[in-house]
A and B are shown apart, each in its own frame.
Chain A
Amino acid sequence: MPIMTYVDAIRDAQRQEMLRDPDVFVAGEDVALMGSSFGQTAGLYKEFGAGRVLDTPISEGQIVSLGVGAAAMGLRPVLSLDFCDFMGCCMDEILNQAAKMTYMLNGQVGMPLVIRANIGGEIGAAAQHSQCLEALFTHIPGLKVVASSSPRNAKGLLSQAIRDDSPVIVLEHKALNGMSGEVPEGAFTIPFGKAETRRAGRDLTLLSWSKTLLKCLGAAESLEKEGIDAEVIDLVSLYPLDMDAILASVEKTGRVVIAHEAVETGGFGGEIAARLADEGFDLLDAPIKRVAAPFAPVPFSAALERLYQPDENRIMAAARSLF
Chain B
Amino acid sequence: MVTKLVMPKLGLTMKEGMIARWIKEEGDTLKKGDDVLEIETEKLTDILESPVDGTLLRMMGRPGDSLPIAAVLAYIGEPGEPIPEEAAAPDSAQASDSAQAPENAQAPESAQAPDGRGKVRASPAARALAGRIGLDYALLSGTGPGGRIVKRDVEAAAASPQPRAGLPAPPPRSVPYAGMRKAIGSAMSASWSAAPMVTHHARADMTELFALRSRLNEGIEDGGGRIGLLDIFVKIVAKAIGSFPIMGATLSGDEIILPGNVNIGIAVAVEGGLVVPVVRDAGRKDLFAVSREAKGLVAKARGKALAPGDVGGGSFTISSIGGYGSVDFFTPIINQPESAILGICRTQDTPVARDGGIVVRPLIGLSLTFDHRVIDGAPAAEFLALLIRYVENPLRAVFEG
Contacts and interface: CB of A to CB of B under 8 A. Distances in A.
B346 interface: no
Given A285-B125, A286-B150, A225 B43 contact: yes
B144 A285 contact: yes
B122 to A, nearest CB: 10
Contacts of B201: none
Contacts of A274: none
A227 B103 contact: no
A227 B104 contact: no
29 contacts: A203-B12, A225-B44, A226-B12, A227-B11, A227-B43, A228-B12, A281-B124, A282-B125, A282-B128, A283-B124, A283-B128, A284-B125, A285-B126, A285-B144, A285-B151, A286-B123, A286-B144, A286-B145, A286-B148, A289-B103, A313-B99, A313-B100, A317-B100, A317-B102, A320-B104, A321-B102, A322-B145, A323-B12, A323-B144
Given A227-B43, A317-B104, 16 more contacts: A226-B10, A226-B11, A226-B12, A226-B43, A227-B12, A254-B125, A254-B151, A282-B124, A282-B127, A282-B128, A283-B124, A286-B145, A289-B103, A317-B101, A317-B102, A318-B103
Contacts of B43: 225-227
A163 interface: no
Contact of A285 (B9, B103, B104, B123): B123
Chain A to chain B: the 5 pairs with minimum beta-carbon distance, closest first: A321-B103, A282-B128, A285-B125, A226-B11, A285-B123
Contact of A320 (B10, B127, B144, B148): B10
A219 to B, nearest CB: 13
B174 interface: no
Contacts of A225: 43-44
B252 interface: no
B193 interface: no
B13 interface: yes
A317 B144 CA distance: 15
Interface string B119-143: 0000111111000000000000000
Given A282-B128, A323-B9, A254 B101 contact: no
Interface string A209-247: 000000000000000011110000000000000000000
A100 interface: no
Nearest to B150: A285
A318 B126 CA distance: 20
Which size class do B's interface residues fall under? Answer: 20 to 34
Contacts of B128: 282-283
A314 B99 CA distance: 7
Contacts of A285: 123-126, 144, 150-152
A322 B9 CA distance: 10
Interface in B102-127: 102-104, 123-127
B98 to A, nearest CB: 9
Contacts of B144: 285-286, 323
A115 B33 CA distance: 42
Interface string B9-46: 11111000000000000000000000000000001100
Nearest to B145: A321
A249 to B, nearest CB: 13
B11 A283 contact: no
A320 B151 contact: no
Contacts of B126: 285
Determine which residue in A281, A284, A313 has the highest number of CB atoms from chain B within 10 A of its CB, and name it: A284
A304 to B, nearest CB: 13
B341 to A, nearest CB: 56
Contacts of B11: 226-228, 320, 323
Contacts of A228: 11-12
Contacts of B104: 317, 320-321
Interface string A286-319: 1001000000000000000000000001100110
